[in-house]
Structure 1
Amino acid sequence: MVAVRVVDVFSTVPFRGNAIAVVHDADRLGDEDMLAIARWTNLSETTFLCAPTSEGADYRVRIWTVGGELPFAGHPTLGSAHAWLEAGGVAARDGVVVQECAAGLVEVRRGERLGFAAPPLVRSGPVEGGQLDRVVDALGLRPDDVVEAAWVDNGPGWLGLLLRSPEVVLAADPDRAKARGMKLGLAAAYAPGAREDGVGLEVRAFYSDDRDFGEDPVTGSLNAGLAQWLVPAGHLPPRYVAAQGTVIGREGRVHVSVEDGTTWVGGATRTLVTGTLSA
């Protein structure tokens, strides 16, 4: 029996963010156990909190999808930090939790909301022309809908597209067969002051593997990669709020700030389910 929490991440409205199942005290679970539990919860990710193995880390997390383990992911990072703190975890440093994951050590700062320091991109730069043509076709877009494209991969494998308007982002209708194997992030900026709620960017994320294709409700890793690309390129200010999940009935809000060269990605976290897992 181990404790488990289901945390809603990136929304202040219950059930409108992205859910993450967090399993506590998971050191005794093996890879097969973790994969089976992740497939059983059937969420985009399930995380497992373990004792740290790196100096300076407060805890270690393993992040699993229904298809396997990820080195890093955004909403699982915030949800895991929230669950660890709520369960009585005490960080070694005031105001900062240090998470160990397969991608290394990730700082999560505490304040009005939790926010993680984006890890370095493992792949960046322009997208090869032939591949970009296939992506545009798979999304049902026209070539002139795309302003720029770049790899924004910090672990999951994201390819980012800056589109000409939020309306084009919201209207994208991927062909599941053509998009199989792709992990795509779409983004477009709103004109300054266009929205009363302060949202400056509309984002959508599409993922696929051998088992599934779908749209992710709210995606911390993608938003981190987009910020690391679009802010230095001058397409976005160093502080903004991104909306995600609009098309699928979510109200994700991702708070991004770039400070002294570090990209911080934050959002609301709230535990909606607590219990025990017989594993």
Structure 2
Amino acid sequence: MPAAPHRFSQVDVFTSEPLRGNPVAVVHDADDLDDAQMAAFARWTNLSETTFLLAPTLPGADYRLRIFTPGGELPFAGHPTLGSCHAWLAAGGRPAGVEVVQECGVGRVVLRRGDSGLRFAAPEPLADTPVAPDVLRRAVGALGLPDGAVVDHRFVDNGPRWNILLLDSADRVLALRPDGAALGGAHVGVVGPYPPGAEAAFEVRAFVGDLGIGEDPVTGSLNAVVAQWLTGTGRAPSSYVAAQGSVLGRAGRVHVERDASGTVWVGGGTVTCVEGTVHL
């Protein structure tokens, strides 16, 4: 059977300048594709995530999104949520209400448009505990961290499962050269504060070797749980900007805000870099 043409977009996320954020590949009108075709295309793009826009199945949703890494499917991810919403709107998508409602593996995710670009309401975590002692020991060793460098830690599941280490400084985060094999299959996020008055409040890095990419350039799901944790414990103000991707030659900027209801909104710039047709 001949391959069917689908509209295709590649969107750079958490930046307003092309090639400085984290790209996501978006296939439009993908209801005719099966799981194997989606997974194969995600392996072929070899991006951290490739997404597929489909007709919604939940009441109130404007579209449904499936999110694949080269290693498998995710129920939620942040930069694919923003980039796919950007692509859906650019292709003529019109939300039923003021907000855009995305359906994905964790249910409905609400998005809004604002001065800093699109932003999503961070889903409530499915789990939130200290990092398991054995995982913490392995992560500290794999990252080559000295005693006292880890200020605190949390394991949070918001679709992806993150073992998050709060370090003593952004410089410490930037200097990390992890042993990927020693990290094993654990998803490890690290965050460290910049001095007061800096352009960004925190530097963030995400190590996800089991997804086939090593380090993710800019990570919405990680920044979401970091923001929920740090703003909820008073370690971060209710509104701040985080930097990510510096070590990879990117300049991702993640805008975070906790509103009066306690909902954390995560967003940033989005820009289309590639448009065309893909035959699948």
Band the TM-score falls in, shorter-chain normalisation:
over 0.9
Report if the CA contact (8 A) 1:10-1:254 is conserved.
yes
Determine the structure 1 residue equivalent to 2:152.
Answer: 148
Q: 1:24 to 1:213 in 2, by over 3 A?
A: closer
| CA distance in 1 between partners of 2:207 and 2:112 (Å) | 28
- 2:111 counterpart (100, 108, 113): 108
Query: 1:1-279, aligned counterparts within 5 Å?
Result: 1-94=5-98, 96-112=99-115, 113-193=117-197, 195=198, 198-209=199-210, 212=212, 214-259=214-259, 260-279=261-280
One-letter code of the match for 2:75? P
| CA distance in 1 between partners of 2:253 and 2:20 (Å) | 10
One-letter code of the match for 2:109? V
Report if the CA contact (8 A) 1:189-1:236 is conserved.
no
| CA distance in 2 between partners of 1:239 and 1:212 (Å) | 33
Q: In the TM superposition, what whole-angstrom CA distance separates every residue of 1:122-145 from its partner, at most 9, and x where no partner exists? A: 121111223211110011111311
One-letter code of the match for 1:254? V
Aligned to 2:39, the other structure's residue is in SS state helix
| CA distance in 2 between partners of 1:32 and 1:171 (Å) | 39
Q: In the TM superposition, what whole-angstrom CA distance separates every residue of 1:100-154 from its partner, at most 9, and x where no partner exists? A: 0011000010122100000011121111223211110011111311000101221
| CA distance in 2 between partners of 1:114 and 1:216 (Å) | 20
Q: In the TM superposition, what whole-angstrom CA distance separates every residue of 1:33-69 from its partner, at most 9, and x where no partner exists? A: 0001101111000000000000000000000011111
Structure 1, unaligned runs of 5 or more: none
One-letter code of the match for 1:105? R
| CA distance in 2 between partners of 1:157 and 1:45 (Å) | 16
- 1:270 to partner: Cα distance: 0.5
Aligned to 2:48, the other structure's residue is in SS state coil
Report if the CA contact (8 A) 1:136-1:143 is conserved.
no
- Runs of 4 or more, structure 1, over 2 Å off, are 128-131
- 1:191 to partner: Cα distance: 2.5
One-letter code of the match for 2:209? S
> Could you tell me the percent identity over the aligned residues?
58
Q: Give the number of aligned pairs.
A: 274
Aligned to 2:114, the other structure's residue is in SS state coil
- 1:208 to partner: Cα distance: 1.9
| CA distance in 2 between partners of 1:202 and 1:233 (Å) | 18
| CA distance in 1 between partners of 2:156 and 2:240 (Å) | 18
- 1:212 to partner: Cα distance: 3.0
Q: In the TM superposition, what whole-angstrom CA distance separates every residue of 1:184-228 from its partner, at most 9, and x where no partner exists? A: 1110112321x2xx311110111021x635111000000001011
| CA distance in 2 between partners of 1:99 and 1:238 (Å) | 25
Structure 2, unaligned runs of 5 or more: none
Report if the CA contact (8 A) 1:180-1:213 is conserved.
no
